[in-house]
Amino acid sequence: MFFKKKKRNLIDDLELASKWVAKALNSSNYQADYSVESLKEIDRFFKEENRPDGILSKNVGQILFSLGAYVGDVFIKEFGGKWVTDDGKDAEINVQVVLDNGISFLPVVSCMKVYQASEESNLYTLYLAIKQAASE
């Protein structure tokens, strides 16, 4: 009997991307251990690597997707929750995390916002806002 290879889906891609970017971040001296504190490291990564010769100068789409996957995993680990995907045209961008407390957000979009306006937006502040909203 032959086994059919399972077709990869977006959830599988998120898991692979999250692990890949954690390894890449750690090898570049950013602490990526899926802790809440590691969100500060991701913010530092955006601040330091968003320059013409920085890591974010190439393959930015893949990196933002992977960082979004990592950020989503941090929030799921902290609050409980799950990934919600669809088959839409921009599914990789609009992938959603729905937390056990009912709050949902778009981690890839959040990373895109930090990338585009790194001084005005950061991921640790997003965590604090969600933590505050969850306690109300």
- Tens-digit pLDDT profile for residues 35-75: 999 999 999 999 999 999 999 999 999 999 999 999 999 99
Q: Are 24 and 17 in contact (CB under 8 A)?
A: no
Q: Please report the domains of the chain, with CATH numbers, ordered by start residue.
A: 10-135 (1.20.120)
Whole-number Å distance between alpha carbons of 69 and 90:
15
| Full-model pTM | 0.91
Helix (H) or strand (E) holding 81: strand 81-84
Mean of per-residue pLDDT scores for the chain = 92
What is the token pair recorded at 60? Answer: 């930015």
Residue 97 region by backbone torsions, left for phi larger than 0, else alpha for psi between -120 and 50, else beta = beta
Whole-number Å distance between alpha carbons of 84 and 130:
18
- Tens-digit pLDDT profile for residues 102-125: 999 999 999 999 999 856 679 999
